[in-house]
Structure 1
Amino acid sequence: MSYKTILVSLNEVGRLEQLVAAAVSLARGTGAHVSGLYVIPSVQVYPSVGFEAAPQVFEGNRTFFKDNAARVKQAFEEAMRREALPHDFHLLDARSPVIAEEVLAVGRCADLLVVSATNPDEITGVERDFVEQVIMSAGRPVIVLPYQGSAAISLDEIIVGWNGGREAARAAFDALPLLKKARKVRIVWVDPQKEPSLRGSAAGADLAETLARHGVKAEAQGYPTDGQDEGQALLRCADDTGAGLVVMGAYGHSRLAEFIFGGATRFVLTRMSRPVLMSH
């Protein structure tokens, strides 16, 4: 298994440099083709309220993304040519005001998606639940970059959050092309003492054994929460070890149009300090 197509969503314009750098780093490491995607959303139409006869139209997002389209395309293509990486760029003039819908439609045909977390202080930009929509609905692994800081991806050491669950298994094996490139992989089971079935066994050792057959240099360990949220403990472990990437399952479900995440997933998405690969 290897990644052949990486799709990078470039609509988080304030993180353009970091998004392009992440795509370059991943493509160099995997030999994948990089597709840059930039969406110009349609105008947002709101129903009338009160005695107004006409609906309200908001063009701010569309204008913002139209104004930045040329700069985004130039930055992406110059970086790809400079690194001699196979690439293409897609500029989509969408019929929908929801950028995530277009990213999902294109992203389901890619091996890996790269997006940035949304900046809560930004007024104009992608929708607030953009990352949640992509993770929950893409059916593909998604690397999320933090919305601040360098966001550099390093494969010197990767942490894999593991609890034996479906989402964790999906994430671990979706990340296999990167795990095989890593110098070291640390399989981390948070608070394994809370799982009765693990008594007398090393938490995560079975996954480490399977990954070793793929040539992955993995070791398994338990990690205490010390009263913290599981997601907080996982990020603390990454900080302690200097890991350049965290791999974890995304736990959650959709309720009508709202995505409800589990505590660990929600904490990591809002507090991440390094890139995180998530699968659902």
Structure 2
Amino acid sequence: MSEVILVILQRPDTALGLLRAAERLAALANGAHVNALAAAPTAVPALKGAYNDWLAAPRATAVHAHWHALFDDIAAAIAERGARADFIVIARPAEDDDRALRQVFRTALLKTGRPVLVVPPGELARPDFGRRVAIAWRQDEHTARTVLPALRDIAHAEHVFVLAGTREGRPAPSVPQILAERDVAATLHLLPIGPGGFGEALLAKAHELEADMLIMGAYSHSTLHNLVYGGVTRFMLDHADLPVLMRY
């Protein structure tokens, strides 16, 4: 049984990078199917062109891919299709994204219940990501729900790093049981939680370890339907320059 990766395409300038990231994730998942979904009606021709170029590129192993385009009820369609996928791949929000683009991102992250790989703009520093994986660990259901479906995909990682925050006067965290029970060899790195932003320290540590992928939980609060992402999540959505796998 093959897994399904839904890659959501909205901007022609990010489409090729997203498709390549989805292909890499499919390889990590032992040959998952890639479903490309154009979610910007006015950009469909350009997005289809990027999809055709990606599909025509020479590769050692064939990729199983399908093309779909949405023209109305986009948020509802993404919520429905996304809930059927094993993973979703989408571009990191950009400062000039309009309301429609941001709504698509929020739907993918908050309304599907699936792990979402957030891909930074431009060429990835490591297109073969998944070799040096950092896990931002926190003992809660959000993190566990993100890590569990990713365990098979990081089974062949050369290095797995657990990045855990620690506070003075509290017991230091250990390697999570969710990893130890599954014989995942991981090294633990403790990061002091102080008055500054923890997201910045987390990303800096990932860079120091030369991680090419980060796995973390995602958090949000809703007041009168205005979504505000938590501090670490917000920082990563603004600054992460490596693929980040999140799940709300």
TM-score category, normalised to shorter length: 0.7 to 0.9
2 CA distance for matches of 1:128 and 1:26?
23
**Out of 204, 227, 239, which is 1:236 matched to?**
204
CA change 1:132–1:147 in 2 (3 A) is farther
Q: TM-score, normalised by structure 2?
A: 0.88
User: Are the aligned partners of 1:6 and 1:23 in contact in 2 as well (CA < 8 Å)?
Assistant: yes
CA change 1:156–1:70 in 2 (3 A) is closer
Residue 155 of structure 1 and its aligned partner are, at CA, apart by 1.6
Which residue of 2 is the match for residue 37 of structure 1?
37
2 CA distance for matches of 1:19 and 1:72?
10
Which residue of 2 is the match for residue 211 of structure 1?
179
Q: Secondary structure at the match of 1:264?
A: helix
Which residue of 1 is the match for residue 86 of structure 2?
111
Q: Secondary structure at the match of 2:102?
A: coil
User: Are the aligned partners of 1:25 and 1:153 in contact in 2 as well (CA < 8 Å)?
Assistant: yes
Amino acid at match of 1:95: D
2 CA distance for matches of 1:87 and 1:215?
33
The within-5 A match list for 1:158-177 is 158-177=133-152
Which residue of 2 is the match for residue 128 of structure 1?
102
The within-5 A match list for 1:148-187 is 148-150=122-124, 152=127, 154-187=129-162
The within-5 A match list for 1:259-270 is 259-270=227-238
CA change 1:230–1:162 in 2 (3 A) is same
Q: TM-score, normalised by structure 1?
A: 0.78
2 CA distance for matches of 1:244 and 1:34?
21
Q: Give percent identity, aligned residues only.
A: 29
2 CA distance for matches of 1:185 and 1:100?
35
How many residues are matched?
Answer: 246
1 CA distance for matches of 2:118 and 2:58?
20
Residue 79 of structure 1 and its aligned partner are, at CA, apart by 4.3
1 CA distance for matches of 2:232 and 2:219?
8
2 CA distance for matches of 1:195 and 1:9?
44
1:143 and 2:127 correspond: no
The within-5 A match list for 1:61-140 is 62=42, 65-79=43-57, 83-92=61-70, 94-96=71-73, 99-121=74-96, 127-140=101-114
User: Are the aligned partners of 2:17 and 2:121 in contact in 1 as well (CA < 8 Å)?
Assistant: no
2 CA distance for matches of 1:175 and 1:109?
16
1 CA distance for matches of 2:97 and 2:105?
15
Which residue of 2 is the match for residue 45 of structure 1?
none
Larger Rg, first or second structure (1 or 2): 1
1 CA distance for matches of 2:238 and 2:231?
11
Q: What does the per-residue CA deviation read over 1:215-258, in whole Å, with 9 as the maximum and x for residues that have no partner?
A: 42212221135653111111111111110111110011223332
**Out of 212, 215, 223, which is 1:247 matched to?**
215
User: Are the aligned partners of 1:4 and 1:111 in contact in 2 as well (CA < 8 Å)?
Assistant: yes
Q: Could you list the runs of 5+ residues in structure 2 that have no partner in the other structure?
A: none
1 CA distance for matches of 2:194 and 2:143?
22
Which residue of 2 is the match for residue 50 of structure 1?
none
2 CA distance for matches of 1:81 and 1:142?
25
CA change 1:167–1:210 in 2 (3 A) is closer
Amino acid at match of 2:182: H
Which residue of 2 is the match for residue 272 of structure 1?
240
Amino acid at match of 1:39: A
CA change 1:260–1:122 in 2 (3 A) is closer
What is the root-mean-square deviation in Å for CA atoms of aligned residues?
2.5
